[in-house]
Amino acid sequence: MKIGIIYESLLNEVKSKFEKLKDNKVELTPEERKKVMDADAVWHHGPNGAPSPAVWKSVDKKTGKATYVTHTHRAFQSRPTLKGAISIYHSFIKGTS
């Protein structure tokens, strides 16, 4: 039974890809935010229905590599470029909301 306890504790320590991305979340630059907003990759549930970006950025602290993420409560997608994240928002993620 000791092995079962060790195995269970290891499973609890493993984070999902989404959790890792969330842990490294940083603000979009003003230029990135403008591109997202101009591309209408937005959610309309901000204060008073104001649009907010549907894409966010995660930066790996070890490599400095940026990953752009878009998600709903049902699905998430990540892309290495902002353009790719905006595209997958329109072609897939928006439909899962």
pLDDT tens readout for residues 12-37: 557 899 999 999 999 999 999 999 99
Of 43-47, 52-56, 59-63, 80-84, the least confident: 43-47
DSSP conformation letters of the chain: -HHHHHHHHHHHHPPPHHHHHHHTEEPPPHHHHHHHHHTT-EES-SGGG--EESEEEEE-TTT--EEEEEE-SS-EEEESSHHHHHHHHHHTGGGG-
Q: Residue 79: beta bridge partners?
A: 68
Mind listing the pLDDT tens digit for each residue in 86-95? 999 999 999 9
pLDDT the model gives residue 48: 83
pTM over 0.85: no
How many residues belong to the chain? 97
Question: Per-domain residue ranges for the chain?
Answer: 15-96
Residue, of 28 and 49, whose pLDDT is higher: 28
